Copies of this chain bind each other. A is one copy, B any other.
Amino acid sequence: MNANPESLSSNDCELQLRADGSLRHLLTLKGLDKALIIELLDDAESYLSPDGTLPVRSDALAGRTIGNLFFEPSTRTRASFDLAGRRLGADVLNLDVNTSSRKKGESILDTIYTLEAMAVDIMVVRDAGAGVPAYIARNVKEFVSVLNAGEADVSHPTQGLLDLLTIRQHRPDFENLVVAIVGDIQHSRVARSAAHGLQTLGVGELRLVSPPAMAPVDAELSFARTVSTLDDGLRDADVVMALRIQRERIDDLDGIPSVGEYFADFGISEDRMRHAKPDAIVMHPGPMNRGIEIDGSLADGWRSVITQQVTNGVAVRMAVLAHVARAMQK
C-alpha cells in the first residue's frame, strides 16, 4: 500500500466538494449534505423508466474517458460502472489488474499520473486499502474526478446511494422507518455507507444486528442501535438488509462454529421475518450466499427488492458520473 496513513485522518467529505458545494469526487457518504444526497437520488430516478427499468441513453459524457481501476476483483460493481459510463456516451477503459503495472512495483500515484496524462477524466477506484481513494483524490489534477467503488471496510458510497434509492422507492417516509442491517457489521463497507446515508436522511431507527464478534466498534456508528439477536433486530422492522458473509471468517468466530449455525442464528428467512412488519422489504448487496446469510426463497420472494437494487445501481452511477462531469472543463 502506498496510501499515506495521514490521509485517513483528514476530512474526506470536504475533500470531495467543489467550492460551489457540488460534488467533484465521491469518496464517502459520511457527512455529505442531505440536499446533495437527495439531488443525486432524484437524478438517478430520472434515469429510470416509470416502471423502474433502465431507459434510453444520454450523451452527457460524450468525449469523456472513464478509467475503471479495480484493484480488488468485482463483477457487478465494475459492470455497473462500465454500463453506466457507456450509456452516457463515455469511453470506458477497464484496467486489468492481473497484468497491471502495480505488479511491476509501480506506485499507485504513478499509475494515476499515467492515466491523467492519457486524459482520463474520471477514475473509478476499488481498493483493499483504507484511504486509497482519498489519497488519489488529493493528488489528481484539478480537472479529474475520483469515484470510490469500494474501499476496504470503510466506504462504498455508490452502494449506499443505491440502497437509499431502493428504500425511498418503497418507504419514502424515512423518519418513521426502522431499518435493520444484519451480518458482519464490523467488516462491512456496505453497512457503513448505508448507515451514514440513513443517518443523514433522518431514519427513524437503525439497528445493526450481528454476533458480538462482528459488532461495530466504530464510534461513528454509535447513533445506531447494536443488537445481538436476530429476532430482536427484526422486531417491527420496515427494511431488512442482509450482508454478504465471508465464509472464511465464520470458522474463526467465537460461538459461530459453522455456516449452518450462522444461518440458524443470523440467516434471514420468511420464518424469521414474522418478527418484522408484515410488509417489510428485504435487501442484499450481492453476491448472495443463499442458505447462509439469506434463504433462497426469501431472496426470490415478494419481499425481495434485490434485483431492483442492481438496476438502481446503474442509475445511481449514471447520476454520479453525470454530476461530477457537469463542472468539468470542455
Contacts and interface: CB of A to CB of B under 8 A. Distances in A.
Interface stretch (A103-111, A128-136, A216-224, A275-283): A103-111
A288 B79 contact: no
A287 interface: yes
Contact of A119 (B78, B287, B306, B314): B314
Interface stretch (A8-16, A34-42, A51-59, A172-180): A51-59
Contact of A63 (B56, B98, B113): B56
Interface stretch (A80-88, A181-189, A265-273, A319-327): A80-88
A310 interface: yes
Contact of A117 (B96, B289, B290, B308): B308
Given A75-B95, A99-B74, A287-B101, A114 B310 contact: yes
A43 interface: no
Given A56-B63, A286-B110, A287-B105, A118 B80 contact: yes
A273 B58 CA distance: 51
Nearest to A117: B310
Contact of A106 (B86, B95, B119, B287): B287
A309 to B, nearest CB: 8
B75 A101 contact: yes
A134 B299 CA distance: 22
A105 to B, nearest CB: 6
A176 to B, nearest CB: 28
A308 to B, nearest CB: 7
Nearest to A91: B86
A73 interface: yes
A65 to B, nearest CB: 7
A115 B70 CA distance: 19
A170 interface: no
A118 B286 contact: no
B56 A106 contact: no
A168 interface: no
A290 B2 CA distance: 12
A53 B75 CA distance: 33
Contacts of A93: 79, 82-83
Contact of A311 (B65, B100, B111, B117): B117
21 contacts: A53-B119, A54-B119, A70-B99, A75-B96, A75-B101, A79-B93, A79-B114, A82-B93, A87-B91, A97-B99, A98-B98, A104-B287, A107-B288, A111-B287, A113-B310, A114-B310, A117-B307, A117-B309, A117-B311, A118-B314, A119-B314
Given A79-B93, A110-B288, A110-B290, 12 more contacts: A73-B100, A75-B101, A83-B119, A96-B96, A101-B287, A106-B286, A114-B286, A114-B287, A114-B310, A117-B308, A118-B314, A119-B314
